[in-house]
Chain A
């Protein structure tokens, strides 16, 4: 059996099935939804960081832009929610295209420029002068499309599509070439790889993923303010989850989200006063002892981690 099929059958399908049936047995629907959103965002970070080495500190910019893309379609054009989610993805891609010049930067410069870009988008959207379009700082209320069950289902679909794309990256020459670019762009060009083109494709793919996630998020919550959907927490969490599990793998970001977001919620429920402390210590431990993520426990021993 080709490994891509194995990955689909033994990782993607079970995960999708689990999240499809969980709402029937577990009451906290919002928590499940947030899990799905972070599974999507962590894989989106995986696509751009794991496969190209660009750390998207302003990743939430695409998410927020997607959320507002959804809101504007629904408010101004009364489009059906599913169509508005697709537009949300396209808004993410459009913002990604606008930001492609950032790919000329590298390392911390890219991360900072990307963060600045996400803040710029936030302030653009929250500008009172745009009240007639975005409702500016006053937030949006989308009662017409409110349907948490459908929005949840849409999130699971987006998660499935994202995972399929990551499986493709992990098993294709395209994904291999991306990793080559990440390792050494000069050598990659001497292998015949069009470095600029590859980076732009990965960048737009991860922007699409975040835009779609923002769209389903807007659909689900239906009432939100710019500060909610452009919150830096989304970027930080998605990055930390992906790194904790280990990027450039399919499993790493999944493990990262399940464990860390699980712990996050456990502490939040049981010992909220220690929450920041425990979480901070965990992340420090990760950076100090496992810089390549949990999966490196296995890869160090020479085991292959899909």
Chain B
């Protein structure tokens, strides 16, 4: 990644409150096209909330979110999707009573992809869902549902992809496979933010990480460096003891 490439997304001093509780408390970071950025931190540090705010599920209560030079904070989700943002969910959320194929078709039909999206068949094959294509999504196991979330996102041709614990629950073979898929996607120029607790996985695929604690970033840089920073070690050990 060249240091002078312009960020596709710039998050600055974003605040998100739930009642009096600050889930995001002045979070700032950026990501550039083709980069895989890790977002790590203990449980409850605000990773999912950050994704929810960037993808339009919640409007920020302060700060600014800029994509391609346009302020997108508080914009409706479907409009963000049309601008090239998409995501997966920590707990997968497919359309349960629709078939796998229909799940994908909705996103193909309504995603308004700027570039021609791949066909349903290509996506089904590439993401190993061809065999279950005509089954309702409710019949899939948790891993398949996560993959379906990812495929739905990809059908809209995102330029910024937010993955919330996509790898949790995958077996080692599946982990290797999904790691390669994510890297290949980044190579096509997609900016990818990966939220994950599996440090080995983060180490393997990310260029850079943001370590979050209590709603703000406490470290930015290589994971290998992060694990030597006392503040980061403290947060993680503290978090584990608390958990």
Which A positions have Cβ atoms within 8 angstroms of B? 173, 176-177, 179-180, 183-184, 186-195
Contact = CB atoms under 8 A, between A and B. Distances in A.
16 contacts: A176-B98, A177-B106, A179-B102, A180-B95, A180-B98, A183-B97, A183-B98, A186-B77, A190-B55, A190-B86, A190-B156, A191-B81, A191-B155, A192-B111, A192-B112, A195-B78
Contacts of B96: 183-184
A193 B57 CA distance: 14
B97 A192 contact: no
Interface in B77-94: 77-78, 81-82, 86-87, 89, 93-94
Contact of B109 (A177, A190, A195): A177
Given A179-B95, A187-B93, A193 B86 contact: no
Nearest to B79: A194
Contact of B152 (A177, A183, A190): A190
Nearest to B102: A176
A108 B148 CA distance: 31
B76 interface: yes
A189 B94 CA distance: 12
Given A190-B153, A194-B78, A179 B98 contact: yes
B220 interface: no
Contacts of A189: 56, 76-78, 81
Contacts of A190: 55, 77-78, 81, 86-87, 107, 152-153, 156
Contacts of A179: 95, 97-98, 102
Interface in B128-181: 149, 152-153, 155-156
Contacts of B56: 189
A194 B98 CA distance: 18
Given A173-B110, A179-B97, A180-B98, A192 B105 contact: no
Given A189-B76, A192-B156, A177 B110 contact: yes
A189 B152 CA distance: 11
Contacts of B98: 176, 179-180, 183
A195 B149 CA distance: 18
Given A176-B98, A176-B102, A186-B77, A191 B111 contact: yes
Contacts of A186: 57, 77, 93
B105 A176 contact: yes
B3 to A, nearest CB: 32
A187 B78 contact: no
B106 A173 contact: yes
A191 B55 contact: no
Nearest to A179: B98
A176 B103 CA distance: 9
B95 A192 contact: no
A192 B56 CA distance: 12
A235 B136 CA distance: 31
A84 B152 CA distance: 46
A165 to B, nearest CB: 19
A193 B97 contact: no
Given A176-B98, A179-B98, A186-B57, A191 B93 contact: no
Contacts of B55: 190
A176 B81 contact: no
Contact of A192 (B82, B87, B102, B103): B82
A192 B78 CA distance: 4
A154 B66 CA distance: 56
A187 B156 CA distance: 13
A179 B103 CA distance: 10
Contacts of B82: 192
A202 to B, nearest CB: 15
B78 A176 contact: no
Contacts of B57: 186
Nearest to B81: A192
B111 A188 contact: no
Given A179-B95, A184-B94, 20 more contacts: A173-B109, A176-B98, A176-B105, A176-B109, A177-B106, A177-B109, A183-B95, A183-B98, A184-B93, A187-B89, A187-B93, A189-B77, A189-B81, A190-B77, A192-B82, A192-B107, A192-B111, A192-B112, A193-B78, A195-B78
A59 to B, nearest CB: 23
Nearest to B107: A191
A194 B78 CA distance: 6
A187 B86 contact: no
B106 A180 contact: yes
Interface in B49-80: 55-57, 76-78
A173 B103 CA distance: 11
A191 B55 CA distance: 12
Contacts of A188: 95, 106
